[in-house]
Amino acid sequence: MLVAAAVCPCPPLLVPEVAAGAAPELDAARAACSDALGVLAAARPDLLVVLGTAGQGGRGPFPQGTPGTFRGFGVDLDVRLGPAARPAPERELPTSLAVGAWLLERTGWADAPVEGLGVAETLEPERCAETGRELAGRAARVCLLVMGDASACRTLKAPGYLDERAAPFDAAAARALGTADVAALRALDSELAAELKAAGRAPWQILAGAAENTGLAGSLLYEDAPYGVGYLVAAWS
């Protein structure tokens, strides 16, 4: 059963070594992520699942100890998914889960076993709900660390350029995440999300599936759009 969740953005720039001189610009987001992970630790889970989007080669489950790296972003920094309790698997974490692993390392996570799950950005809403239910049934007390960005079309300099639909989409997502509104998350338009490059849509809808009939309450801890990309941090408990 899902007992708590943390929703965090997953840009590599969240990692100070990657952001370099621009690192202070996301200090507030990092602080909010730490607060959200604190909610997970307080829930005393039997299992933590780190969830995010991945390309074709990075989908599927990842066991505890799976390595990730930020070398592709020009920095000599490696991470692991939770404490490395077994020999490192051959596969590497997709970027979204590597950022999640970095957050766990930063907060010194040692409260429960950790697994990772990478999914396609295009995962259908119905399948998202099914996946969420499956994750919630993995243990008596399950927590999710949900990694995903909102739209990438908030400004002219955004990766997806300016789209007037982006701000309303992000506002709806923020309201749903901040109030743990499962129905509103389910109602997010997957086609619009794809057009707005909102990579968090599928992970958020998986969270909605996991949270069915749990009565969890939500709190929005951070909402901003630096670099024209919507970043949201929320905690459910």
Q: What is the mean pLDDT of residues 50-65?
A: 90
Sign of CA dihedral 205, 200, 203, 122: positive
**What's the whole-number average pLDDT of the chain?**
95
For the cut 90, the answer to whether the pLDDT of residue 22 exceeds it is: no
For the cut 70, the answer to whether the pLDDT of residue 237 exceeds it is: yes
Q: What is the pLDDT of residue 59?
A: 87
Q: DSSP letters of the chain?
A: -EEEEEEE---GGGSHHHHGGGGGGGHHHHHHHHHHHHHHHHT--SEEEEEEE--GGG-EEE-TT-EEE-GGGT---EEESSS--SPPPSS---HHHHHHHHHHHHHT--SS-EEEEEE-TT--HHHHHHHHHHHHTTSSSEEEEEE----S-SSTTSTT---TTHHHHHHHHHHHHHHT-HHHHHTS-HHHHHHTT-TTHHHHHHHHHHTTT----EEEEEEE-GGG--EEEEEE-
Q: What is the pLDDT of residue 89?
A: 64
pLDDT in tens, 138-189: 999 999 999 999 999 999 999 999 999 999 999 999 999 999 999 999 999 9
The answer to whether residues 232 and 174 touch, using CB atoms and an 8 Å cutoff, is yes
pLDDT in tens, 177-221: 999 999 999 999 999 999 999 999 999 999 999 999 999 999 999
For the cut 80, the answer to whether the pLDDT of residue 132 exceeds it is: yes
Q: What is the pLDDT of residue 211?
A: 98
Q: Which two tokens stand for residue 192?
A: 């619009």
Nearest to 177 by CA among 236, 135, 225: 236
pLDDT in tens, 81-126: 998 766 666 789 999 999 999 999 999 998 889 999 999 999 999 9
Write down the domain spans for the chain: 2-236
Name the class of domain 2-236: alpha beta
Q: What is the pLDDT of residue 90?
A: 73
Sign of CA dihedral 110, 111, 112, 117: negative
pLDDT in tens, 61-92: 999 999 999 999 999 999 999 987 666 667 89
Q: What is the pLDDT of residue 122?
A: 95
Q: What is the mean pLDDT of residues 129-145?
A: 98
Provide the whole-model pTM.
0.96
